[in-house]
């Protein structure tokens, strides 16, 4: 663990896309809209959700205690407090992504290793109705720059299922390197799934990923 000064951190990119992109640590007031957007995206996101290798399919949904805990009015407060604590302790950084004032998805930096590693994994999703506008690469570039410049992290990894071309494009656009396939890396949607490991280090983008992404967008818009 490591004490992170300046967390919770809100990051704003006002003019790179058609509308501002804001990364903000979750508040209790976000819980309702986040739940509604996740429910609207359920069939799209469910095949990508991690699953418990020991649980029979659907077990978590059938467990009445889990269902009761999820309905508890205390849960949003506990979840937000836990997320803030994790950020301050350098265990995980979680942001909700807003696009033009609209809830758009999540960006999480987790599995953080300090010591001589200073590495972490990234995860993200965007509301399907807002895809194709460059929100995910913008949010990832903002979050990665925060991690490299303000927390002392040195390396970020993204594990992506080979057939998830949309997500592969997100990291490729930012210059993450393809480091090869890790076999049976995560249990997803009921089975062990291979993942392509993409990674980037701080020194590979000395001016930052947002700078790189801005230049690449300017070039493609000029063509």
CA separation, residue 74 to residues 29, 55, 67, 69 (Å): 13, 26, 14, 9
Q: Are strands 119-126 and 102-113 parallel, antiparallel or unpaired?
A: antiparallel
CA dihedral 82, 87, 90, 92 (to 10 degrees): 70
Nearer to ligand COA, 150 or 197 (CB): 197
What stretches of the chain show up as alpha helix (H) in DSSP? Answer: 31-40, 42-45, 59-62, 64-71, 75-88, 135-146, 165-173, 209-222
Phi, psi for residue 207 in degrees, rounded to 5: -90, 0
Query: Which positions from 126 to 155 touch ligand COA by CB under 6 A, shown as an x/- string?
Result: x----xxxxxxx------------------
- The distance of closest approach from Cβ of residue 130 to ligand COA in the complex, given in angstroms and rounded to an integer, is 7
Q: Which residue reads 């801005």 in tokens?
A: 214
Nearer to ligand COA, 20 or 150 (CB): 20
- The distance of closest approach from Cβ of residue 56 to ligand COA in the complex, given in angstroms and rounded to an integer, is 25
Query: What does the DSSP 8-state code read for residue 215?
Result: H
Nearer to ligand COA, 53 or 132 (CB): 132
Report how far residue 185's alpha carbon sits from residue 193's, in angstroms, rounded to the nearest whole number: 6
- Count residues contacting ligand COA (CB under 6 A)? 19
Residue 38 interacts with ligand COA (CB under 6 A): yes or no = no
Query: Which positions from 158 to 197 touch ligand COA by CB under 6 A, shown as an x/- string?
Result: --x---xxxx-xx---------------------------
- The distance of closest approach from Cβ of residue 182 to ligand COA in the complex, given in angstroms and rounded to an integer, is 13
Return the range that interacts with ligand COA (CB under 6 A); candidates 55-63, 68-76, 120-128, 144-152: 120-128
Structural contact between residues 79 and 31, judged by C-beta atoms closer than 8 angstroms: yes
- The distance of closest approach from Cβ of residue 8 to ligand COA in the complex, given in angstroms and rounded to an integer, is 23
Which residues lie near ligand COA (CB under 6 A)? 45, 48, 124-126, 131-137, 160, 164-167, 169-170
């Amino acid at each position: 663990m490591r004490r992170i000064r300046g967390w919770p951190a809100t990051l704003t990119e006002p003019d790179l896309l058609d509308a501002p992109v804001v990364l903000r640590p979750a508040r209790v007031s976000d819980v309702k809209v986040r739940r509604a957007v996740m429910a609207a995206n359920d069939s799209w996101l469910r095949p990508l959700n991690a699953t418990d290798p020991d649980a029979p399919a659907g077990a978590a949904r059938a467990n009445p205690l889990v269902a009761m805990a999820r309905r508890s009015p205390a849960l949003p407060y506990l979840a937000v407090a836990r997320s803030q604590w994790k950020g301050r302790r350098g265990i995980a950084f979680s942001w909700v992504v807003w696009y033009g004032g609209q809830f758009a998805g999540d960006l999480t930096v987790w599995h953080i290793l300090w010591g001589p590693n200073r590495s972490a994994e990234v995860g993200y999703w965007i509301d399907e109705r807002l895809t194709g506008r460059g929100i995910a690469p913008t949010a990832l570039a903002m979050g990665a720059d925060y991690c490299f410049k303000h927390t002392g992290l040195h390396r970020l990894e993204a594990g992506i299922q080979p057939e998830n071309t949309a997500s592969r494009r997100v990291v490729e656009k930012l210059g993450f390197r393809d480091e090869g396939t890790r076999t049976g890396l995560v249990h997803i949607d009921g089975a062990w799934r291979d993942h392509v490991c993409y990674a980037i280090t701080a020194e590979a983008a000395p001016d930052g990923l947002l700078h790189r992404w801005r230049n690449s967008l300017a070039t493609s818009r000029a063509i």
